[in-house]
């Protein structure tokens, strides 16, 4: 059966599909990057991002991919000669550890089995003997395993046992999952543009607490482009220290319009239901999920498939014009991942699960047509009943 070659459905956990309205906004003619129009844009984006991070402070905006924000968080927060702790629940926690290592920072690493969240108890036991660490690095949604770590509770454990800054990678969480950086005591929360924010890659964001600013001001570690201080200074003048990625900011303005029009609570609820529909469909067709219901992320789902089945299914899905992600590092060939964040809705999940049945059958798995989709639809019907109750 022939396919429309350019109708590719991106169900990967980033980059995610770009809404036509955002695509359109990014086509606007360039403006002078120091003109009042650009200043208004920078100021508005920074302020309107704050509710997504759960902070009262303006959010820093950098022209870079998400990893730059991870590296910025490392080099701004840890003094020369200082040590840090990092919780590794998958490939992105491991990336924090690698960045710390490259900068020669003494790193205490807590490894959690991939596919599980870090529990507050595990972190408490680990930090008990490490009260001297200057920063503890956490991953909010571990995109490589589809696990959402309980950042709120982990942050309070850090406070209890150390004076360390709490730093969280929110790249595949912010905008799809509620975040309350100020309330939770997360000192630095970072994200990138190409996940739940529905934009191309190229913007990195960071919220920074006043406690973190004190440490950053006193930090002698060499840094230039990724130094947070000039970003704060420029933001006070409604600009960025280096040329802002103006076209991406036009897109960000449109993305924030969309999120505000839908309402953040509704955005988060939509992600919850997409997670539930995906998990029900996977179970319904007899496949196994990597994470438990308690640990599962609303933005990405990992499905087990050893003996080559994960890759076989992914290949069949690609032939159906749906892109899924494979496993990373130790999970390579063991899982496939379905992204459901940003410009993604319940109907996309129905499509994905229906196609997955076809793909799994083509890959030789004993899947009953309709078994997954029935479970997915039942969740969807349940969601409609819960969400569409008449107002009291």
Ligand X SMILES: *Cc1c(COP(=O)(O)O)cnc(C)c1O
Which residues contact ligand X (rule: CB under 6 A)?
Answer: 14, 65-67, 92, 139, 141, 143, 169, 171-172, 192, 195, 201
- Looking at the Cβ atoms of 92 and 137, the one nearer to ligand X is 92
- Looking at the Cβ atoms of 324 and 363, the one nearer to ligand X is 324
179 SS3 class: coil
- Minimal distance, residue 206 CB to ligand X, in Å: 13
How close are the terminal C-alpha atoms of the chain, in Å?
50
- Minimal distance, residue 65 CB to ligand X, in Å: 3
- Minimal distance, residue 90 CB to ligand X, in Å: 8
Radius of gyration of the chain (CA): 21
Whether omega before 389 lies within 30 degrees of 0, making that bond cis, reads no
Q: Which residue's Cβ has the minimum distance to ligand X?
A: 66
Q: Name every residue whose Cβ is closer than 8 Å to that of residue 91 and which is 6 or more positions away in sequence.
A: 142, 143, 144, 328, 329
- Minimal distance, residue 159 CB to ligand X, in Å: 23
- Looking at the Cβ atoms of 149 and 376, the one nearer to ligand X is 149
- Minimal distance, residue 70 CB to ligand X, in Å: 6
Sign for the CA dihedral angle at 279, 342, 263, 140 comes to: positive
Residue 379 near residue 275 (C-beta atoms within 8 A): no
- Looking at the Cβ atoms of 92 and 228, the one nearer to ligand X is 92
- Map 347-371 to HEC letters: HHHHHHHHHHHHHHHHCCCCCCCCH
Sign for the CA dihedral angle at 343, 254, 205, 212 comes to: negative
- Looking at the Cβ atoms of 95 and 161, the one nearer to ligand X is 95
């Amino acid at each position: 059966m022939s396919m429309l070659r350019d109708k590719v459905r991106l169900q990967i956990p980033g980059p995610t599909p770009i809404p036509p309205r955002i695509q359109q906004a990014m086509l606007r003619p360039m403006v002078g990057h120091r003109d009042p129009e650009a200043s208004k844009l920078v100021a508005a984006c920074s302020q309107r991002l704050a509710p997504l991070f759960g902070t009262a402070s303006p959010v820093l905006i950098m022209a870079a991919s998400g990893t730059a924000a991870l590296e910025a968080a490392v080099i701004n927060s840890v003094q020369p000669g200082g040590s840090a702790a990092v919780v590794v629940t998958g490939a992105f926690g491991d990336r924090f550890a690698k960045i710390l290592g490259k900068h020669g920072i003494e790193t205490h690493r807590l490894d959690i089995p991939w596919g599980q969240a870090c529990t507050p108890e595990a972190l408490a036991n680990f930090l008990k003997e490490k009260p001297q660490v200057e920063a503890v690095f956490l991953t909010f949604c571990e995109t490589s395993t589809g696990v959402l770590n309980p950042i709120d509770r982990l942050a309070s454990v850090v406070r209890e046992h150390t004076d360390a800054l709490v730093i969280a990678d929110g790249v595949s969480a912010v905008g799809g999952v509620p975040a309350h950086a100020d309330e939770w005591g997360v000192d630095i929360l970072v994200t990138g543009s190409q996940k739940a924010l529905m934009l191309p890659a190229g913007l990195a964001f960071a919220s920074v607490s006043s406690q973190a600013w004190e440490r950053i001001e006193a930090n002698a570690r060499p840094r230039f482009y990724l130094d947070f201080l000039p970003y704060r200074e420029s933001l006070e003048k409604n600009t960025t220290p280096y040329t802002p990625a103006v076209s991406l900011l036009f897109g960000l303005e449109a993305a924030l319009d969309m999120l505000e029009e839908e309402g953040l609570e509704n955005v988060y609820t939509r992600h919850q239901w997409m997670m539930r529909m995906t998990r029900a469909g996977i179970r319904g067709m007899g496949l196994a999920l990597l994470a438990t219901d308690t640990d599962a992320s609303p933005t990405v789902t990992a499905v087990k498939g050893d003996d080559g089945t994960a890759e076989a299914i992914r290949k069949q899905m690609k032939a159906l014009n749906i892109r899924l992600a494979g496993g990373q590092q130790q999970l390579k060939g063991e899982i496939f991942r379905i992204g459901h964040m940003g410009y993604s809705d319940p109907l996309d999940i129905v499509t994905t699960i229906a196609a997955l049945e076809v793909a799994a059958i083509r890959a030789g798995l004993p899947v009953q047509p309709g078994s997954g989709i029935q479970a997915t639809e039942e969740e969807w019907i349940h969601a409609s009943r819960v969400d569409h109750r008449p107002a009291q």
